Structure 1
Amino acid sequence: MIEFDDDRYEEAGFADDEHGAEEAPAEAATRRRRAVRIGVAVVCGGMLAVGGVGAYNVANAIRGGSGGGGAQPVQPAAATATRAPTAQEAETAAKGFLDAWAKQDFAAAAALTDRQDLATGALATFQRTLNPEEFTLTPTGAAAAPAGQPGRTAVGFHARLRFDGVDRAWEYDGSLGVVRTDEGRTAVHWEPGVIHPSLAAGGSIDVRTVDALPGRLVDRNGKPFDESSPVKAMLAGVKTGGAGTGTPGRAVVLVRGSAQPAEQLFALTDPGAAEFKVTLDAELQRAADAALKEQTGGGGAGSVVAVEPSTGHVLAMASAPAGAFNRALGGGIAPGSTMKVVTGAALLEAGLRPDSPAPCRDTATSPRVWHNDERGDHLGYTLADDFAHSCNTAFIEQGLAKLQPGTLAKVASEQFGLGLEWHTGLLSFDARIPAPGNRDEQAAEYIGQGSVRMNTLLMASVAATVQSGTFRQPVVVDGVADRATAPGRLPAGVASDLRAMMAKTVREGTARTPMAGIGGQVGAKTGTAEVDGKNPNSWFIAYRGDLAVAVEVEGAGHGAEAAGRAAAQILRVGNNG
């Protein structure tokens, strides 16, 4: 890299030319000697990372080292402010300089300037820094002389540099000021702008590494997401583990100090961007976005998560309102009766069967009085009937009779992975099922109320665990380290019984209406969660084949309505990846 210091005049004690005629030749020569620092500068600015080529130190040449072409520096011959060279004289001098420079005969080129001591090393440094495969310099005729600089005749030139492996040339136009020296010689006036016009204002030219572009976000099939999709903002904080890092580029740059970003003059190689692949499916994501927007009215709150049971891959996630808090992964709200899937697993492990008698009474006491959405007694119900029709009172009575305080949290953790520390690739809320302090709190937990806190990511995983029989912690980026693993898995009999009860809920229970017409291996559970006396939140979890979905819509009432409609819309698209 070449760097010029404009304070050279004061450093060398150089006086104005008008005093030179009154001094002895030796004194005049001494005053005309200008100390110039041309060295290596390492500067990092903007997107341009440190990667420059080590530059030739011209200051060393000035102090007696070898210069480009092996020439030794000579004393400068200062230009006079007398008659400017004619156009013909200027063009002849300029052509000789440009020809020698293009041939890399830097000593010969420098000898045609008024500052051979500076020009030799600077030209050599430029060549060594850029190392072009081909370098041509062509005079372009008379140019406008700079204002306020008498005694100069300007000649334009066109530079063209080609580089190995680069399919295009770097081309730029410059200008040379030709002067008549004290010796009466016509010479190119040396200044930084001779090499490149951008150097006229100071700075240096270098070859630098250009940072790679961020990885292009694509789905599991390599397809880009819709530009308008809110999921792109939701994925902004995803932990890639190094995935999606593209290849850096290289460029010729102008550097003007550490406080300013380097300016790219010519790209030698463009930076590349690797495809940053997430587990989401672009088609399913569009369906999730549309379904949630429709069911929240475009302004309400809610969330959706779709998971692939066989892998734990998150295939879609949506949160409303868009741009707000990501409640799909970060929310912590009561899941309502969707929690009966976990309570049902605990009761089955405690010895009940789907066909075990479990009367659905109009009310139950803990001593708090509990009731169902549909009033009345159904004393002939079995556990499967209670599940399909979401009977609160039966689950509370059976839970209080068959389960110990804390059993629900243990089953949730060991079989469903709930309450463990999940590492999905994004920040997420871990399930909360605190130890109940009394029988009222214990009863509330069995139906997903009280202090139980979940979100759609967690409950989609519950549905996925039932479908596959194995907990696989959901992830947004495949290969995430420290993925949580449940201590055990669903016992085969429990998993089979839960699938049967969720299928019954689709055929003849509370999920019948939204799931109508959806075939294959299906199962579902509705939930209606009462929160702070407000209109209940609508919850729905379901699976169809290798696709599990959870939806919640704030204040939308029964689970079979808003949440159920959104879930069914996504399940109809299916997992076609």
Structure 2
Amino acid sequence: MHEEQEYTDFADHAKYEEYGEYGEYGEYGEYGEYGDEPPRRSIARRVALVAVGGVFAALVGVGGYGAYNLTSAVSGGSSGDGGGDKAAAATQSPQQPPDAAQAEAVAKDFLAAWGRGDFTVAAGLTDRPEAARMALSAFHDGVPAKSLALTGTGPASSGTPSEPAVGFKVRAEFDGATEAWEYDSVLGVMRAADGRTLVRWAPSVVHPKLGAGKTIAVRPLPNPVSKPTDRKGRPLDSFPSLRSVLPQIAPPDGATVVTGQAVVLSGGGAQDPEQLFVLTPPSAPQVKLTLDADLQQVAEEAVKQQSAGGKPASLVAVQPSTGQILAMAYAPQGGFNRAVGGGQPPGSTMKVITSAALLEAGVGPGTVVPCKETTHSPRTWHNDEPGDFPAYTLTDDFTHSCNTGFIDKGLEKLQPGTLATVAREQFGLGLQWRIGIPSRDATIPVPGNKDEAAAEFIGQGQIQVNSLLMASVAATVQSGTFRQPVLREDVKRVTAPGKLPTDVARDLRSMMAETAAQGTARAPMSGLSGQIGAKTGTVEAGSGQATNSWFIAYRNDLAVAAEVEGGGHGNSAAGVAAAQVLKAGGKG
């Protein structure tokens, strides 16, 4: 048997008389307990109550944003006289617990009043009217549901003989949400001292997780962070070196970022708000980076091994034919990205650019450039390899990394500032690259005297570069063309003002190949096939300190630069790390 009752707001005294349950003016006399005027509900609502086999429901429309704070509502209030017409009529001995029918009846009336937005009436059916009214009002204001359905589900197992419990289901629908928010809750029923049957008020009636000091409200979710993938669409967020990089990736120009909304439970000492229901999920456009997840894994491991003991290190791998950055790793991980943001002297890896300048100045690979044990600028300079080698050519000096030969020939052939010009116009250093994340440009100052010039010829002094920049130098030699490295293809690249002359590129490749086969890079490059070339670098770090290790190389269409602070000679720490990556990814 169905029993349906329909409620509308009472616009005037006549309608109240017509529809009221208690006759002309209701239970409270001429105007009831409300004062001089008949009660008016602030928002017109409509509710249908259906009872079928003890299960009942209330469905109304509610809406509007408002204050989201339930704190005072769920923690305040005090026991009161309660209310409710039917509950007042059903008085019995205070010692007699409510029976199932009475519990269901008061629950039905409570849910109906709550559902139609009459929080005063609903609260009057509880043992703590003010606390209940505030909590129900705050829930209504904080959770802007398009419709709210409250459906009784019958006796709940949490009840006791003295205080039975009634279960009910909440279903809230929201504009723009693809699904409704549904959850189950329970209300307890008690016998008041005056014999009335009342709902035992608790914050958990509104939601099982709501407690003192907590709030439930719809709030915007944090702005979504794009989770870029590698070039093949594979995730990258598991790589330690990329954890601080990925959040720096901005969405493509013109892309839309959607900020989501969720029903959130917060407060009560919890560190992070708990999402109870997501109305609209956030979304951010996905970006494919140029990185290769397989090569990134190798680079991470190589840097980890060589940085053992706390030595800072970095490595960058670049594809010469495209300029795409394929791997980027650094240590300590999670901190400053020295791979693209660092700045330090590159040691003898700078001799690639010095050689390019000398070759353009008329010095050939076979030109005799004696390697003296010491030379002066007037500062005294020496080599790692002791002895005088007067018959060494430019190639020999490059292969064996002879400092004195490069200093003498550089001071003889090159004007102040030539090194910076060649680096800029042919290798693209000093052009303010935009790779997709912040990065540091090269610093190659014009020397103020011969000592400063001598230091720059061998990669010491005031020169500041990083692994990204030097990987690009190796890539430019391999391909013969500067292609600005990028982490994403949609960034605007810079182009070098000039071009590396074809014969200079050819001679540099020959010299780097000889260094990999017979020179200082022989050990780490051993066993690598294909088109290979390399240059070592060892940077003096100060009296009593271990030297810094640098290594740049290429194998077919893969160029790598690595540096390890305090790593010793270039062919040791940095060379080993670079060779690991070349072995894994430079097979052609």
- Normalised-by-shorter TM-score class: 0.7 to 0.9
Corresponding residue for 2:537?
527
Q: Is the 8 A contact 1:78 1:114 kept in 2?
A: no
Alignment correspondent of 1:512: 522
* 1:137 has 2:147 as partner: no
Partner SS, residue 293 of structure 1: helix
Match of 2:389 in 1: 378
- Paired residue secondary structure (2:560): strand
State the secondary structure of the residue aligned to 2:304: helix
**Matching residue's letter, 2:152:** L
1:43 equivalent in structure 2: none
Shift of 1:452: 1.9
1:14 is matched with which residue?
Answer: none
Note if 1:438 corresponds to 2:462.
Answer: no
Distance of aligned partners of 1:123 and 1:92 in 2 relative to their CA distance in 1, 3 Å threshold: farther
| Aligned twin of 1:171 | 183
| Aligned counterparts, 1:71-470, within 5 A | 83=93, 86-87=98-99, 90-91=102-103, 93-94=105-106, 97=109, 129-131=144-146, 136-140=151-155, 155-161=165-171, 170-175=182-187, 207-211=218-222, 213-216=224-227, 218-225=229-236, 227=238, 229-235=239-245, 238-241=248-251, 248-253=259-264, 264-268=275-279, 271=282, 277-322=288-333, 325-470=336-481
Q: Provide the residue aligned with 2:79 in structure 1.
A: none
Shift of the 251–181 alpha-carbon distance from structure 1 to 2, 3 Å rule, reads farther
Q: Show CA shifts across 1:298-344 (max 9, x none).
A: 43333222222233332223333445544323332221111111111
Task: Mark the CA change 1:249 to 1:410 in structure 2 (over 3 Å): closer, same or farther.
Answer: same
Secondary structure of 1:318's match? strand
Q: Tell me if the contact between 1:79 and 1:181 (Cα under 8 Å) persists in the aligned partners.
A: no
* Partner SS for 2:576: helix
- Tell me: CA distance 1:556–1:36, structure 2 relative to 1, closer, same or farther (3 Å): farther
CA distance change for structure 1 residues 204 and 79 in 2, over 3 Å: closer, same or farther?
farther
State the AA in 1 paired with 2:293.
Answer: A
Residue type at the aligned position of 1:449:
Q
Tell me whether 1:29 sits opposite 2:33 in the alignment. Answer: yes
> How has the CA–CA distance of structure 1 residues 422 and 92 changed in structure 2, closer, same or farther, with 3 Å as cutoff?
closer
State how far apart, in whole Å, the 2-side matches of 1:361 and 1:246 are: 63
Aligned with 1:559: secondary structure? Answer: coil
Flag structure 1 segments of 5+ consecutive residues without an equivalent.
1-23, 40-51, 58-74, 147-151
> What is the Cα deviation at residue 567 of structure 1?
1.5
- Closer, same or farther in 2 for the Cα pair 1:250/1:37, shift >3 Å? farther
Alignment gaps of 5+ in structure 2: 1-27, 44-61, 68-82, 127-132
For the 8 Å contact 1:524–1:541, the answer to whether it is kept is yes
Asked whether the equivalents of residues 100 and 155 of structure 2 are also in contact (C-alpha less than 8 Å), the reply is: no
| Paired letter, 1:285 | Q
When the two structures are superposed, what TM-score results if normalisation uses the length of structure 2?
Answer: 0.71
Distance 1:202 1:377 in 2: 82
AA at the equivalent of 1:137? G
Residue 544 of structure 1, CA deviation: 1.0
Instruction: State whether residues 145 and 177 of structure 1, in contact with CA within 8 Å, keep that contact through their aligned partners in structure 2.
Output: no
| Of 496-505 and 287-296, the range deviating more from structure 2 | 287-296
Q: Shift of residue 447 of structure 1?
A: 1.1
Tell me if structure 2 keeps the 8 A contact 1:140–1:158.
no
Whether the aligned pair in 1 keeps the contact of 2:66 and 2:142 (CA below 8 Å) is no
1:208-233: CA deviations, max 9, x gaps? 55346534454333333484x43134
Q: Distance in 2 between matches of 1:525 and 1:124?
A: 69
Deviation of 1:93 after TM superposition, in Å, equals 2.4
Match of 1:486 among 479, 485, 496: 496
Conservation of the 8 A alpha-carbon contact between 2:98 and 2:163: yes
Once residues 386 and 253 of structure 1 are traced to their aligned partners in structure 2, the CA distance between those partners, rounded to angstroms, is 69
Per-residue deviation, 1:260: 11
Taking a change above 3 Å as real, the CA distance of residues 38 and 495 of structure 1, as seen in their structure-2 partners, is farther
Q: Cα gap change, 1:162/1:391 in structure 2, threshold over 3 Å: closer, same or farther?
A: same
TM-score, with length taken from structure 1:
0.72
Q: Provide the C-alpha distance between the structure 1 equivalents of 2:377 and 2:138, rounded to a whole number of angstroms.
A: 92
Residues 175 and 486 of structure 1: CA distance in aligned 2, closer, same or farther (over 3 Å):
same
Conservation of the 8 A alpha-carbon contact between 2:344 and 2:465: yes
CA shift, 1:159, in A, is: 0.8
SS in 2 for 1:514: helix
Q: Which SS does the other structure have where 1:240 is aligned?
A: coil
**Count of matched residue positions in the alignment of Structure 1 and Structure 2:** 514
Structure-2 separation of matches of 1:260 and 1:513: 53
Code of the aligned partner of 1:527: G
Question: How far off is 1:527 after superposition?
Answer: 1.6
RMSD, matched Cα = 4.9
Name the CA distance, whole Å, in 1 between partners of 2:137 and 2:306.
Answer: 70
SS at match of 1:519: coil
Deviates more, 1:401-410 or 1:355-364: 355-364
SS at match of 1:386: helix
Counterpart residue number, 1:19: none
| CA deviation map 1:243-301 (0-9, x unaligned) | 999755544446889x9986543345655676564433222222223223333444333
Q: Please, which moves more after superposition, 383-392 or 202-211? A: 202-211
Q: Structure 1 CA distance, aligned partners of 2:179 and 2:64?
A: 25
Q: 2: distance between equivalents of 1:112 and 1:563? A: 74
Give matches, 1:561-576, under 5 Å.
561-575=572-586
- Note the 1:48-67 alignment, pairs <5 A: 54=64
C-alpha separation between the residues in 2 aligned to 1:509 and 1:56?
A: 75
In the TM superposition, what is the alpha-carbon distance from 1:484 to its structure 2 partner?
A: 4.0
Decide whether the 8 Å contact of 1:503 with 1:524 is kept in 2: yes
CA distance in 2, matches of 1:302, 1:489: 31
Report the CA distance between 1:550 and its aligned residue: 1.1
Q: Deviations over 1:40-70 (max 9, x none)?
A: xxxxxxxxxxxx963599xxxxxxxxxxxxx
Shift in alpha-carbon separation, 1:177–1:559, aligned structure 2, 3 A: same
Structure 1 CA distance for aligned equivalents of residues 163 and 85 of structure 2:
18
Distance 1:92 1:320 in 2: 66
AA in 2 matched with 1:171: Y
Distance 1:500 1:170, change over 3 A: same
Asked if the contact 1:340/1:447 (under 8 Å) is kept, the reply is: yes
Range moving further from structure 2, 356-365 or 430-439: 356-365
Q: Secondary structure at the match of 2:550?
A: strand
Seen in structure 2, the aligned counterparts of structure 1 residues 310 and 485 have a Cα distance that, compared at 3 Å, is same
CA contact (8 A) 2:476 2:483 kept: yes
